[in-house]
Amino acid sequence: LIEDIVLRKILDSRGNPTVEVEVYTLNGYGRAAAPAGKSTGKHEVKAYPVGGIDKGIEYFKERMDNFIGMDSTQQEDIDAMLHEIDGTDDFSMLGGNIAIAISLAVAKAAANSMGLPFYQYLGGAFANRIPKPVGNVLGGGKHAVGGTTIQEMLSMALSDSAKDNVFANALVHKKVGEKLRERFPNISIGLGDEKAWIAPMDDIEAIEVVVDAVREVGEEYGIEIKPALDFAASSFYKDGKYHYKNKILTPEEQIDFVEDIVKNYGIYLVEDPLDEEDFDGFAELTRRIGHIAYVVGDDIFVTNVERIKIGVDKGAANTVLIKPNQIGTLTDTIRAIRFSKDNGYATMISHRSGETCDTSIVHIGVAFGVEFIKTGAIGGERIAKLNEMIRIEEELKGE
Ligand code: PGA
Ligand code: ZN
């Protein structure tokens, strides 16, 4: 039974405040923190109420009594109570970031009271597969000043070993860095919010660097690695057109462009290649490339079953990005994963560009057989999750 819930402001990886929650039960303890997006989807729940994080914390404290004495193992009841005290359909009173941190901290306290690792508490006997890591190595968009228009260019190592995959993606990151140093000997090269490189190149030049690095590391280490892209296209879609650094494309031209680069460069996964409202465009693109690439919906689906359902009905995308704080509770997150899987869609669980060292997404990914996990290639708040995957793999193998 829940005895106390403590909320506090802590730093995220951008140096902004985020919320951390501690839950104390009779014989358990759990702690979780919320991440923060920057290229957020329009249909995500509200991260914080009007008035910001302090207002949300205050709002919860005034209603915390509702949770005291509740059973921490009854996750659906906890999450229903979060919705009830908020009273809106987008967490605009409590804030979805506060809701998700409470929801996860309660679940972790329940796991702790049973003496179980979090992934095992959530997934039981079926929690035995580590998602394949997808790591951002070069990019721009809203995550970096002066980078590419496409937000993220990523490395996907696909071996059966989580450890090898994690190291392979980090090696691709390193290799991209070497290539940039050679190419721009007199310019200082930086890192974006997710610790991917930033360099003054157009998108095609950058894709070529990443594709080469992926191929070279793959050959060197004898491991299958594929390149991937997150366009985050809503962030450069204005007045009906896609605005790149060096060109402007109509929606039809954007679909052709994505199809071409997928085919020419062997891109294995494309996320948000079109605007977040363009279900029909997503469906058309999926018809063209869905048999050779994962077409992932992030801002279009926002981890929301209602929106995923529209996608399923139209054949838009074939993969759903899962970000727990886009929807605000663990229960809603698990519903989105299950609904996607039941309808034949793959899933990829994801960090946000602003992160803490919280590792919940790894545990959720392992618990529910999520295929991929996007959580960077390097950087403290990213390696917290990557290293957790290595630990869990060791634990699963040792059993
Ligand atoms: P965000 O973006 O975390 O900055 O919203 C990440 C993504 O688009 O996948
Ligand atoms: Zn995205």
Ligand 1 center from residue 351 Cα (angstroms): 8
Q: How far is the CA of 230 from the centre of ligand 2 (A)?
A: 6
Segment 357-394, tens digit of pLDDT: 999 999 999 999 999 999 999 999 999 999 999 999 99
The answer to the question of whether 219 is labelled as a binding residue is: no
- Would you say residue 399 has pLDDT above 90? no
Residue pLDDT, tens place only, 17-36: 999 999 999 999 999 999 99
Q: At 153, is the pLDDT very low, low, confident or very high (cuts 50, 70, 90)?
A: very high
Can you tell me the distance from the alpha carbon of 112 to that of 83, in angstroms, rounded to the nearest whole number?
24
Catalytic residue check, 226: no
CA distance 7 to 248: 46
Which pLDDT does position 81 carry in this prediction?
Answer: 99
Q: Which of 142, 179, 195, 323 is catalytic?
A: 323
Write out pLDDT tens, residues 158-216.
999 999 999 999 999 999 999 999 999 999 999 999 999 999 999 999 999 999 999 99
Report which ligand 1 atom has the smallest distance to the Cα of 321: 9
Residues 259/289, Cβ–Cβ less than 8 Å:
yes
Ligand 1 atom closest to the Cα of residue 142 is 4
- Please state, in angstroms and rounded to a whole number, the distance separating the CA atoms of residues 197 and 217: 17
Could you say which of 194, 259, 381, 388 is catalytic?
194
pLDDT at 224: 98
Residue 392 Cα distances to 101, 243, 321, 337, 363, angstroms: 22, 42, 22, 21, 9
Ligand nearest to the CA of 42: 1
Q: What is the pLDDT of residues 37-95, one digit of tens each?
A: 999 999 999 999 999 999 999 999 999 999 999 999 999 999 999 999 999 999 999 99
Is residue 323 part of the annotated active site? The answer reads yes
Provide the β-strand partners of residue 139: 152
Closest ligand to residue 272's CA: 2
Q: How many CB atoms lie within 10 A of CB 69?
A: 9
Residues with CB under 6 A from ligand 1: 37-40, 151, 230, 232, 298, 350, 352-353
